[in-house]
Amino acid sequence: MKYKLFVDGQEGTTGLKIFEYLSKLSDIEVLRIDYDKRKDPKERSKLLNVADIVFLCLPDSAAKESIALVKNEKTKIINTSTIFRTDKNWVYGLPELKNQRDLIRTSSRVSVPGCHATGFVLTIRPLIEAGILQQDYPVTCYSVTGYSGAGRSGIEEYENSTLVTEKKLNVPRHYSLQLNHKHIPEMLLYSGLLYEPLFTPIKANYAQGLAMSVPLMSRYMPKNPSAKDVHEVLSAYFETERFVHVMPYDSEAYLDEGHFMISECNNTNRLEIFVFGQKDKINIISRYDNLGKGASGAAVQNMNLMLGFDEGNSLVEHNI
Ligand SMILES: NC(=O)C1=CN([C@@H]2O[C@H](COP(=O)(O)OP(=O)(O)OC[C@H]3O[C@@H](n4cnc5c(N)ncnc54)[C@H](OP(=O)(O)O)[C@@H]3O)[C@@H](O)[C@H]2O)C=CC1
Ligand SMILES: CC(=O)N[C@@H](CCC(=O)OP(=O)(O)O)C(=O)O
């Protein structure tokens, strides 16, 4: 039997990328909606209810509408939008967190993590579990991302050369300046922190690739770990993971004359964690493709688990 899959939002940035992955699989049948009917609730309802798995690649309000249209027990939902990521009836689709993989395998409602939240949670949670970061540590972090993270409208804005000149989009831009980015609730809940991190995202004039940086000060942490100790904890936590890799400690070899390269994981589902530091200063940076492990790749990884496929089915693990 072939599993039936439907991507609601098939023409959007996340949806199109998921389609690319699905086109490599043979044990599935991808259901398509007519372009003109893609926003018609009646037509969507038909497909949503015959599919074994649906990917919701929609704005929050439309995703909510789709969920209400699912009227049967069988259809499993993978939701890439922001809503329900902290809802207890949904499983957070980050398999690399301890015990999360089994929850995903048996769930019929999975939320794909936000792109910024992915790197943050994977950095903080292992340190708290290992007891070298206390839950009330006042964490500050920042993330630099390509404009495709803002979906179709973001891409159109940046790829329209007149606007780039008029709006001065050729320089990086901080946003969510009130420190209230929409990923904060999931960053708080799944990292294990007691207080919201102070998070500043920065969008820049390139399409794809994200780096989340979390600087920490050893003198304020239990056991005063060195950057090398932090590296060892993270390496042990992700030792057996296929898509999350802790890179060699303080490795200059991965820098370009001292500069970090954000887009090296593009077009893969790979997330790399780097630890740098000196004296009591620790700098942890994760890099990944916001459309890979930050969205569509993560969605397909979750699908593989939910259907009992090989977890890496159709996903690219390495840059070759
Ligand atoms: N881009 C990224 O890196 C990430 C995105 N996400 C999330 O994924 C979701 C999709 O984002 P993204 O693909 O970037 O956004 P896009 O704007 O690129 O795509 C959204 C798609 O939804 C369609 N749509 C809008 N309203 C409806 C409706 N009522 N019924 C059916 N279809 C509708 C749009 O149609 P139309 O073709 O008319 O535009 C469009 O194709 C969002 O919730 C976003 O927050 C999550 C992680 C990362
Ligand atoms: C560049 C840019 O604007 N990125 C988006 C996040 C992309 C993402 O992860 O989105 P969802 O939480 O919507 O799923 C932002 O920071 O709001």
Domain range 3-111+294-306, its CATH number among 3.90.650.10, 3.40.50.720, 3.30.200.20, 2.40.30.30: 3.40.50.720
pLDDT of 319 reads 65
* Residue 274, token pair as written in the block: 């780097």
Assign domain 115-289 to its CATH architecture: 2-Layer Sandwich (3.30)
Residue matched to tokens 């893969």: 268
User: Could you give the ipTM of this predicted complex?
Assistant: 0.93
Ligand 1 contacts (CB < 6 A) are 9, 11-15, 38-39, 57-60, 62, 80-82, 114-115, 148-149, 151-152, 290-291, 294-295
| 81 alpha carbon, closest ligand | 1
Please give the distance, rounded to the nearest whole angstrom, from the Cα atom of residue 63 to the centre of ligand 2.
Answer: 15
Per the prediction, the chain carries an average pLDDT of: 96
115 catalytic? Reply is: yes
> Ligand 1 center to residue 122 CA distance, Å?
25
Question: Mean pLDDT throughout 74-82?
Answer: 97
pLDDT, tens only, 5-58: 999 999 999 999 999 999 888 889 999 999 999 999 999 999 999 999 999 999
Q: How many helices (H) and strands (E) does the chain have?
A: 10, 13
Instruction: Report domain extents, the chain.
Output: 3-111+294-306, 115-289
Over residues 180-199, the mean pLDDT reads 98
CB proximity list for 89: less than 8 A, separation 6 or greater: 109
